[in-house]
């Protein structure tokens, strides 16, 4: 009887210490989102590594959150503290339901103001790059037709095969239909497909033009020519960290730490980081730590 009583007390104490420990851990925990793309996972790990180095908090990395909507809903519920990868164009139109703003600085100012007013979220200054929709061709095609700008396609598009993201082809506003009107250009045929297949199809001469992403690592590895959007058709997709005000009030030291990332990653650098993940098959965590070390983030006084 005494033995049973002792085991019962021990179990209660053990359970109680488990609850207290988890409660205290939860109170001192900062959750950071990671997405499904190489870019979002690299940036997520950069934020995690930075916070782990400079704070004594329990940093939890929630990887594979599939979309901006999922991240946003998680932050609204209080399940997520930091979203390291938010794009102005995506949130301006999708989350906020506002008209497109083509000026990058104005777009950033709008989302910063609206996120603060509507959700009490802090939209930080940009990392320094914008992951734009970008028309791309091979070096050979660019030389053959003299292509430097998107408007140059007008003279040859009717003989060309375009590959694009599946959702972009059907999308209103800045989708294919809007593009044909803005540039007065139609392609011979359009092939909507998964983004990952576009680059290989272009290099294999199965497509003549693709609509890719400006920071994709394959741009550099295939030495592709990115055509200038000279009529500013696509909205800016400036990338920033977003943090809830509640988290910043609880951990005010986070603001100065995250501001260290302002204007530290340009388009070429992001291309290389994505290349290291997609082509060299390095883990995003390794890429993130190497970036921070190479740029002296871990040095005293940095």
Instruction: For residues 201-217, give the mean pLDDT.
Output: 97
DSSP-derived pairing of the beta strands 82-87 and 133-137: unpaired
Residue that has been written with the tokens 């179990």 in this structure = 11
Q: What is the pLDDT of residue 12?
A: 41
Q: Which of 35-39, 49-53, 199-203 has the lowest mean pLDDT?
A: 35-39
> pLDDT over 70 for what percent of the chain?
90
Instruction: For residues 67-84, give the mean pLDDT.
Output: 93
Q: What is the pLDDT of residue 1?
A: 47
Instruction: For residues 1-24, give the mean pLDDT.
Output: 41
**8 pLDDT above the threshold of 80:** no
Return the CATH fold of 133-226. D-Maltodextrin-Binding Protein; domain 2 (3.40.190)
148-169 confidence digits (pLDDT tens):
999 999 999 999 999 998 889 9
Q: Same topology for domains 2-131+237-294 and 133-226, yes or no?
A: yes
Cα gap 165→30, rounded to integer Å: 34
Q: What is the pLDDT of residue 228?
A: 97
Structural domain boundaries in the chain: 2-131+237-294, 133-226
Cα–Cα distances (Å) from 183 to 133, 176, 180, 190, in that order, read 15, 10, 5, 16
Q: What is the pLDDT of residue 2?
A: 42
**42 pLDDT above the threshold of 60:** yes
Q: Which of 27-36, 41-50, 62-71, 280-289 has the lowest mean pLDDT?
A: 62-71
**88 pLDDT above the threshold of 60:** yes
Sheet harboring 161-165: ordered strands across? 189-193, 161-165, 209-213, 133-137, 225-226
Q: What is the pLDDT of residue 3?
A: 47
Instruction: For residues 284-297, give the mean pLDDT.
Output: 96
CA R_g for the chain: 23
Instruction: For residues 39-52, give the mean pLDDT.
Output: 97
Report the range out of 33-37, 61-65, 156-160 with the highest average pLDDT. Answer: 156-160
221-263 confidence digits (pLDDT tens):
899 999 999 999 999 999 999 999 999 999 999 999 999 999 9
Q: What is the pLDDT of residue 300?
A: 64
Name the pLDDT band for 100 (thresholds 50, 70, 90).
confident
Q: Decide: residue 123, CB within 10 A, 0-12 exposed, 13-18 middle, 19+ buried.
A: buried
Residue that has been written with the tokens 């030495």 in this structure = 223
Pick one of 3.90.100.10, 3.30.420.10, 3.20.20.70, 3.40.190.10 as the CATH number of 2-131+237-294.
Answer: 3.40.190.10
């Amino acid at each position: 009887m005494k033995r049973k009583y002792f085991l019962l007390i021990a179990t209660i104490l053990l359970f109680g210490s488990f609850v207290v420990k988890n409660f205290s851990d939860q109170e001192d925990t900062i959750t950071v989102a990671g997405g499904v793309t190489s870019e979002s996972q690299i940036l997520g790990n950069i934020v995690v590594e930075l916070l782990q180095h400079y704070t004594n908090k329990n940093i939890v990395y929630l990887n594979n959150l599939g979309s901006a909507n999922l991240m946003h809903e998680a932050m609204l519920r209080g399940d997520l503290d930091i979203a390291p990868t938010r794009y102005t164009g995506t949130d301006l139109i999708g989350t906020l339901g506002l008209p497109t703003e083509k000026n990058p600085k104005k777009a950033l100012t709008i989302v910063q103001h609206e996120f603060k007013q509507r959700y009490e979220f802090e939209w930080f200054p940009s990392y320094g790059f914008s992951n734009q929709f970008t028309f791309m061709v091979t070096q050979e095609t660019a030389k053959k037709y003299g292509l430097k700008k998107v408007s140059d396609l007008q003279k040859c598009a009717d003989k060309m095969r375009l590959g694009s993201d599946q959702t972009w082809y059907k999308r209103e506003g800045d989708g294919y239909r809007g593009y044909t009107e803005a540039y007065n250009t139609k392609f011979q045929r359009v092939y909507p497909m998964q983004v990952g297949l576009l680059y290989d199809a272009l290099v294999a001469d199965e497509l003549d033009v693709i609509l890719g992403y400006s920071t994709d690592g394959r741009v550099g590895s295939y030495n592709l020519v990115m055509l200038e959007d000279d009529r500013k058709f696509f909205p800016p997709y400036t990338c920033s960290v977003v943090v809830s005000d509640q988290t910043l009030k609880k951990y005010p030291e986070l603001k100065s730490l995250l501001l260290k990332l302002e204007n530290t990653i340009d388009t070429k650098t992001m291309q290389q980081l994505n290349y290291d993940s997609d082509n060299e098959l390095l883990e995003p965590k390794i890429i993130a730590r190497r970036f921070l070390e190479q740029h002296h983030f871990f040095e005293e006084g940095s």
